[in-house]
A and B are shown apart, each in its own frame.
Chain A
Amino acid sequence: MNDRIKTNLKEDILWLKCSNCKEFIFKRIFEENLKVCPICGFHYRIGAYERIEMTFDDGIRGFKSLFEDIVSKDILGFTTSEPYSLTLEKNREKSGVKEAVIVGTGKVKGYEIAAIIFDFNFMGGSMGFGVGERIIRIFNYASQKKLPVFAFIASGGARMQEGMVSLYQMPRTIIAVEKFKEETRLPYVSIFLNPTTGGVLASFAYLADYIAAEPNALIGFAGPRVIEKTIGRKLPERFQRSEFLLEKGLIDKIVRRNEIRDFVSWWCRS
């Protein structure tokens, strides 16, 4: 299903058509509703800064982005039709973020938190060195400053352009999580967004104390196409979606976007 809202009107449109329920919705109401369809409740994909804007007190102004200078580089000399370094540049321009994850601190309902916020628009939220290192740093920082950690995951998994260096971000981030758990008595909470898959799910993301997901997010180790190819048949409709995972006991809760601030602040209360 396409997560981007379809529009058949011009730039200054007032109305949008929901790609899920096909109903026309007022653009202003859609924005006010945190990019969730007010009719069918479909959660549209949003960028890291949109997430920050709607989650933190004072939005983006209230958020301090940290370790911005840490970014991935072309370690392997990975060149196809273009060098990987150019792919990175293009993604920075396209998404407005320098890496597939933003880490930093800010307040939610008055509580100071450390946050990990993926941006799926940047190379599918894939985890290479830059992403892994930022995650490690924020866990260490949260441990020093005694802040709870909230991770908003949206990722296709490990970033293949950095080869095994990307896969090694799995143990690296897990070491950081464990260190945080050892050094603090504070919660680490993951919120799985659409989609959360592969090496990100199978490492630090799943080792949170508590795991929530937005409605209808695709969550799984293997992608649906890979599974279909292996088993040679179509997958059931709701397979690997948040509601399915909740039913199977693989996550704790489904949290709608408009409940997230309440949810986060609940975990911050002592």
Chain B
Amino acid sequence: MKRFAFDFENELINLESEIDRLKSIKQLSKEDSRKLEELEKIYSEVYRKTYSNLTPWNRVQLARHPYRPTSLFYINRLFKGLQEIKADRRYPDDLSLVCFIGEYKGKKTAIAGIEKGADSRERQKRRFGMPLPEGYYKFIRLLEIAEQLKIPVITFVDTPGAYPGIEAEEKGQALAIARSIQKMLFVKVPTVSFVIGEGGSGGAIALACADRIYVLENAYYSVISPEGCASILFHDEKRAPEAAELLKLTADDLFKLKLIHGIVKEPLGSAYRHPEETLRNIDKTLENALQEISSKDVEQLLKERHQFFINIDRNINNLVK
């Protein structure tokens, strides 16, 4: 079976396929076993070379990797006793944005995630993680429930963007996003956001205006997709790698710009090869974040949440040459 590979992973994936092929042969010829030994020797070197010094574009590719864990992977593993919150009460449930009340380390927590779907059938069903207005209104419902129960809210962001379609526009996609941001900025409970894959523009920020905002090492968070940017700038989508460089969309760049609170490390090879370790890193980050913010009184919490956004200019003025 041909494995999925991005261009920069080609050498490694071919090597892996060859090693697997040789290993699957029951009785290896002398020549073949020598070859296998040889390949296994260079494997770790090729692996290291492939995943060290990733370009911003490589990270965008990894963020979109079809095997990369999606929101539901983390949600199912981090939280217990999940009760799903369905729909906004006006339209049928939007499956691209999932909401739950669950338990995190024994405490009730509200959870939302933009979900791309793990296989191609599910991806269709979940519109590749592009929410409709009713998805955002369901999220607002979740925030209201969280406020009522006085429990923290955790969000997982993984979307190419809010769905751009006729139906979405007719139902007021822009207003849904504006309201979602507004509610998240003013919700009277602690909030933590993780951008775990794609942080696509307005559709992503609608779930990411939290007290603590983290971006995974190989996720990206951007005002526009690299392809969209390239098509405007260069009239050529194929120049997306250059645009990715310009947009400063990696976790590392965003942290330097002080637009996020932290980076969640991924092991060498990224989350799709190491979902368990990535999960553990998110878990640790979340636990610490909740500890930091849970004790603050509401007034202080909201003041600091707003200051974080309002004061970005201080950091910016220091950065401009």
Contact = CB atoms under 8 A, between A and B. Distances in A.
Q: Do A and B bind each other?
A: yes
B248 interface: yes
A248 B174 CA distance: 14
Contacts of A75: 257, 316, 319-320
Interface residues of B, number: 48
Contact of A175 (B178, B185, B229, B316): B185
A171 B181 contact: yes
Most A CB contacts (10 A, CB to CB) among B162, B174, B177 go to B174
Interface string A136-170: 10000000000000000000001110111111101
A160 B247 contact: yes
A267 B224 CA distance: 36
Contact of B174 (A163, A167, A201): A201
A206 B309 CA distance: 19
Nearest to A198: B202
Interface in B47-67: none
Contacts of A9: none
A158 B223 contact: yes
A174 B181 contact: yes
A250 B174 CA distance: 10
Contacts of B321: 77
B75 to A, nearest CB: 24
Nearest to B172: A250
B124 interface: no
Nearest to A76: B248
Contact of A231 (B166, B201, B259): B166
Given A75-B316, A202-B177, 17 more contacts: A75-B320, A77-B321, A79-B246, A162-B223, A165-B316, A167-B202, A167-B223, A175-B185, A202-B178, A203-B178, A206-B175, A220-B169, A222-B162, A226-B228, A239-B166, A240-B169, A250-B172
Task: Report the 9 A-B pairs with minimum CB-CB distance, sorted nearest first.
Answer: A222-B164, A221-B174, A221-B173, A202-B174, A202-B177, A201-B174, A167-B223, A206-B178, A73-B320
B310 A136 contact: yes
B133 to A, nearest CB: 9
B312 A163 contact: no
Interface in B153-197: 162-166, 168-170, 172-175, 177-179, 181-182, 185-186
Most B CB contacts (10 A, CB to CB) among A75, A136, A178 go to A75
Contacts of B166: 227, 231, 235, 239
A74 interface: yes
B248 A227 contact: no
A205 B174 CA distance: 10
A99 interface: no
Contacts of B165: 222, 227, 230-231
A174 B174 CA distance: 13
Nearest to A244: B170
Nearest to B316: A75
A249 to B, nearest CB: 8
Interface in B230-264: 232-234, 246-249, 254, 257, 259
A242 to B, nearest CB: 13
Given A76-B246, A172-B312, A239-B169, A221 B164 contact: yes
A233 to B, nearest CB: 9
A174 B201 contact: no
A203 B181 contact: yes
B316 A129 contact: yes
Contacts of B185: 171, 174-175, 178
16 contacts: A75-B320, A76-B247, A158-B223, A160-B247, A162-B223, A163-B246, A163-B249, A164-B222, A164-B247, A164-B257, A164-B259, A165-B316, A174-B181, A175-B310, A178-B182, A178-B185
A174 B179 CA distance: 9
Interface in A225-253: 226-227, 230-231, 235, 239-240, 248, 250
B271 interface: no
A213 to B, nearest CB: 13
A207 interface: yes
